[in-house]
Amino acid sequence: MASVSITSLRKFYGTHSVLHGVDVEIADGEFVILVGPSGCGKSTLLRMIAGLETISGGTLMIDDRIVNNVAAKERDIAMVFQTYALYPHMSVAENMGFSLKLAKCPKTEIDERVRQAADILALTALLERKPAQLSGGQRQRVAMGRAMVRNPKVFLFDEPLSNLDAKLRVQMRTEIKELHRRLGSTIVYVTHDQIEAMTMADRIVVMQGGYAQQIGRPLDIYDAPANTFVATFIGSPAMNLITGKIEYTDASGRLLCADGASISLDDPAIAAFAGETVTLGVRPEHLQLCAPGDLNAFTAEVTAVEPTGAETFVVMKHGGQEVTAVLRDRLAVEPGAHLELSIAKGKLHFFDAKTGLRLAP
Amino acid sequence: MEAAKPSSYLLYILPSAIGFVGIIIIPFILNIAASFTQWRGVGIPKFIGLANYARLLKDELVWEGFYHSLIFILSMAVIPTILGLILAALLFDYVAARFGKTTASFFRAGFYLPQILPLAVAGVLWGWIFSPIGVLNTTLKAWGLDFLARNWLGDPGTAMLCVMFVMVWLQLGYSLVIFMSGLARVDPALYEAAELDGATWFERFRYITVHMLKPELFVVGLTTTIAALNVFAPVFVLTKGGPNNATTVPSLLAYYHFFTTNRVGYGATITTMQTALTMLLAYVFVRLQSRDQ
Ligand SMILES: Nc1ncnc2c1ncn2[C@@H]1O[C@H](COP(=O)(O)OP(=O)(O)OP(=O)(O)O)[C@@H](O)[C@H]1O
Ligand SMILES: [Mg+2]
| Residue spans per domain, chain B | 59-292
Does A293 have pLDDT greater than 80? no
CATH number of this structure's domain A4-233, picked from the four choices 3.40.640.10, 3.30.70.20, 3.40.50.300, 3.40.50.2300: 3.40.50.300
In tens, the pLDDT along A92-110 reads 999 999 999 999 999 999 9
Helix extents (H) in B230-258: 233-238, 250-255
Out of A85, A102, A150, closest to residue B203 by CB: A102
The alpha carbon of A24 and the centre of ligand 1 are apart by a number of angstroms equal to: 19
Out of A85, A88, A146, closest to residue B192 by CB: A85
> Is the Cα dihedral A63, A67, A73, A79 positive or negative?
positive
Q: What mean pLDDT do residues A184-193 have?
A: 92
Per-residue exposure over A17-37, b if at least 16 CB sit within 10 Å of its own CB, e if not: ebbbebebebeeebbbbbbbe
Q: Using an 8 Å Cβ cutoff, are A116 and B215 in contact? A: no
Per-residue exposure over A51-76, b if at least 16 CB sit within 10 Å of its own CB, e if not: bbbebeebebbbeeeebeeeebbebb
Query: Which pLDDT does position A86 carry in this prediction?
Result: 94
Out of A72, A86, A87, closest to residue B196 by CB: A72
CA atoms within 13 A on the CB side of B163: 33
In DSSP notation, B110-163 reads HHHHHHHS-HHHHHHHHHHHHSTTSHHHHHHHHTT-GGG---TTTSHHHHHHHH
Cα–Cα distance measured from residue A270 to residue A250, given in angstroms and rounded to the nearest whole number: 12
Chain A residues within 8 A of B205 when measuring between CB atoms: none
Could you tell me which residues are beta bridge partners of residue A170?
none
- Give the pTM: 0.83
Predicted-complex ipTM score: 0.84
Q: What mean pLDDT do residues A11-36 have?
A: 93
| Closest CA in chain B for residue A158 | B189
Q: Using an 8 Å Cβ cutoff, are B91 and B104 in contact? A: yes
Query: φ and ψ at B161, to 5 degrees?
Result: -60, -40
> Is the Cα dihedral B267, B271, B274, B276 positive or negative?
negative
Cα–Cα distance measured from residue B19 to residue B207, given in angstroms and rounded to the nearest whole number: 45
Residues of chain A with CATH 2.40.50.140: 240-359
Query: Which pLDDT does position A361 carry in this prediction?
Result: 65
- Nearest ligand to the C-alpha atom of residue A34: 1
Cα–Cα distance measured from residue A325 to residue A285, given in angstroms and rounded to the nearest whole number: 6
**C-alpha distances out from residue B243 to B1, B153, B166, B239, B248, Å:** 68, 7, 17, 7, 9
Q: Using an 8 Å Cβ cutoff, are A10 and A18 in contact? A: no
Cα–Cα distance measured from residue B84 to residue B168, given in angstroms and rounded to the nearest whole number: 10
Query: Which pLDDT does position A55 carry in this prediction?
Result: 92
Across the interface, do B198 and A102 touch by the CB < 8 Å criterion?
Answer: yes
The alpha carbon of A43 and the centre of ligand 1 are apart by a number of angstroms equal to: 7
CA B161 to chain centre: 16
Residues in chain B whose Cβ is within 8 Å of chain A: 187, 189-190, 192-200, 203, 207-208, 211-212
Residues of chain B with pLDDT below 50 are: none
CA A205 to chain centre: 7
CA atoms within 13 A on the CB side of A256: 12
Helix extents (H) in A224-282: 228-233
Average pLDDT, chain A: 90
Q: What mean pLDDT do residues A235-250 have?
A: 88
Across the interface, do B192 and A73 touch by the CB < 8 Å criterion?
Answer: no
Please, which residues have CB within 8 angstroms of residue A360's CB and are 6 or more apart in sequence?
A269, A272, A273, A350
Q: Are strands A203-208 and A297-307 parallel, antiparallel or unpaired?
A: unpaired
The alpha carbon of A283 and the centre of ligand 2 are apart by a number of angstroms equal to: 28
In tens, the pLDDT along A135-176 reads 888 998 999 999 989 889 899 999 988 888 888 888 889 989
Across the interface, do A102 and B197 touch by the CB < 8 Å criterion?
Answer: yes
What is the 8-class DSSP label of residue A357? B
Q: Is the peptide bond before A88 cis (omega within 30 degrees of 0)?
A: no
Cα–Cα distance measured from residue A298 to residue A272, given in angstroms and rounded to the nearest whole number: 22
3-state secondary structure B185-234: HCCHHHHHHHHHCCCCHHHHHHHHHHHHCHHHHHHHHHHHHHHHHCCCHH
> Is the Cα dihedral A15, A21, A22, A28 positive or negative?
positive
| Closest CA in chain A for residue B198 | A73
Across the interface, do A88 and B197 touch by the CB < 8 Å criterion?
Answer: no
Across the interface, do B198 and A83 touch by the CB < 8 Å criterion?
Answer: no
Q: Using an 8 Å Cβ cutoff, are A240 and A314 in contact? A: no
Does A182 have pLDDT greater than 90? no
Across the interface, do B200 and A73 touch by the CB < 8 Å criterion?
Answer: yes
Query: Which pLDDT does position A73 carry in this prediction?
Result: 87
Ligand 1 contacts (CB < 6 A) are: A 13, 16, 18, 36, 38-44, 192
Q: Using an 8 Å Cβ cutoff, are A302 and A334 in contact? A: yes
Probe ligand 1: pick from A16, A44, A52, A205, max atoms within 8 Å of CB? A44
Chain A residues within 8 A of B189 when measuring between CB atoms: 81, 83, 85
The alpha carbon of A36 and the centre of ligand 1 are apart by a number of angstroms equal to: 12
Does A262 have pLDDT greater than 90? no
Topology at the third CATH level for domain A240-359: OB fold (Dihydrolipoamide Acetyltransferase, E2P) (2.40.50)
Q: Using an 8 Å Cβ cutoff, are B28 and B215 in contact? A: no
User: Was domain B59-292 assigned CATH 1.10.3720.10?
Assistant: yes
Could you tell me which residues are beta bridge partners of residue A341?
A289, A298
For residue A187, give the H/E element and its range: strand A186-191
Residues of chain A with CATH 3.40.50.300: 4-233
Q: Using an 8 Å Cβ cutoff, are A147 and A186 in contact? A: no
Ligand 1 atom nearest the C-alpha of A40 is 21
- Nearest ligand to the C-alpha atom of residue A40: 1
Chain B nearest-CA distance from A99, in A, is 5
3-state secondary structure A42-93: HHHHHHHHHCCCCCCEEEEEECCEECCCCCHHHCCEEEECCCCCCCCCCCHH
Q: Are strands A65-66 and A287-289 parallel, antiparallel or unpaired?
A: unpaired
